[in-house]
Amino acid sequence: MTLAMNAVQVLLLILLAPLVRGVIARLKARIQNRHGATVWRPYADLVKLFRKEDLVPDSASFVFRLAPIVVFATTLVVAAFVPLLHGSALLGVSGDFIFLVYFLALGRFFLMLGAMDGGSSFGGMGASREALVSTLAEAPFLLALMSVAILAHNGSIAGMVQWTIGQSFFQFSAVHALAFMALALVAIAETGRIPVDNPTTHLELTMIHEAMVLEYSGPSLALIEWASAIKLTVVMALLIALFVPWGIASSLSALALVVASLVLLLKIAALVLTLALVESSVAKLRMYLVPDFLGVASALAILAVVFTALMR
């Protein structure tokens, strides 16, 4: 029964990811006084792309065609690590937070390879920028997750969720606050949102992620776009699960699950709103300031880990 539930969780994540993206885009448009496209637009885009032809540059090798598949696969696996409605995850094992970080890194690695394999100069530029951002984001990502794991005495994300539910909401823990701030900054870098990267830009010189996928088309592009949406949703779900998991179903009864779904919807809505507001009010950082941004995240994450010793 739990297994089925967990599989449903993963399916939900996968299927709802484009909707999350659509809602964010619509909210941003509203905030900026535009109409914006309908929230179902990403689904329409995916359907359209799946029906189109996959064009491969002559100079590309098998890596170019392999990359989208690897990216999508790794993102699916990562989605299976995060508990959504219920305190366990499909692939939840002790130490899965490390898996999470490195599966995301694996996907990114292949994306970079594919971008360079495509042969365009923008692909190379995007890949090198992405390498910089991801290198700097890896340490705070791991450290922040580690600090929460140390406090919870548990190596799996599901375990951390269970521990956090047992704490009182009002007893603010310095470690969690610091880890949250660090992870929020890292999340922005990982998912390629403003102020690190603009997902809707059409100016190639300002692109990081978009530059890497310039050469892709058809189903390959669909897979990459979908994977990117899933990544965004997974990171959001991770933030919610680690820091505000109250409301998660403790039993598998229908009532508990319904309540958990509603609460989850609320939390995601709040995060989506925050992200839309932040993206509309903050300017994208110039590339040379991004290391500084991630340096702040690193400092916060290091402090979080040190605090686990102090708060004993």
Partner 1 sequence: MGLFETAAAKALASSGVFLFMTVLLIAAAKRISTCIALFSVQSLVITAQIIAVSRMHHSAEGFVVAVLVLTVKVVAIPYVLYRIVEELQAPRDVSSSTSASQSVFIAAGLILLSFFAVRPYVGVLGGDQAMLAAAVALVLTGGFLMVSRKKALMQVVGLLVLDNGIFLAALTTTFGMPLVIEIGIVFDLLMGVFLMGLFVFRIRDTFDHLDVSKLRRLRG
In the complex, the residues that contact partner 1 under the rule CB under 8 A are 168-174, 177-178, 181, 291-296, 298-300, 302-303, 306, 310
Q: Would you give the distance in Å from CA 232 to the centre of its chain?
A: 3
d(CA 83, CA 75): 15
Q: Which residues of 109-122 are buried (b: 16+ CB within 10 A; e: fewer)?
A: bbbbbbbbbbebeb
Nearer to partner 1, 164 or 228 (CB): 164
Cβ closer to partner 1: 269 or 277? 277
- Shortest CB 178 distance to partner 1, Å: 8
Q: From the CB of 295, what's the least distance to partner 1, in Å? A: 3
* Beta carbon of residue 301, minimum distance to partner 1 (angstroms, whole number): 10
DSSP code per residue over 120-179? -HHHHHHHHHHHHHHHHHHHHHHHHHHHHHHHHT-SSHHHHHHHHHHS-TTS--HHHHHH
Which residue, 81 or 293, is less far from partner 1 as judged by CB? 293
What the block records as the tokens of 80 is 């299976």
- Can you tell me the distance from the alpha carbon of 258 to that of 260, in angstroms, rounded to the nearest whole number? 5
Query: Of the two residues 124 and 291, which places its CB atom closer to partner 1 in the complex?
Result: 291
Least CB distance to partner 1 at residue 153 (A): 20
The distance of closest approach from Cβ of residue 136 to partner 1 in the complex, given in angstroms and rounded to an integer, is 10
Nearer residue to partner 1 within complex by CB, 218 or 291: 291
Number of neighbours of residue 185 by Cβ within 10 angstroms: 24
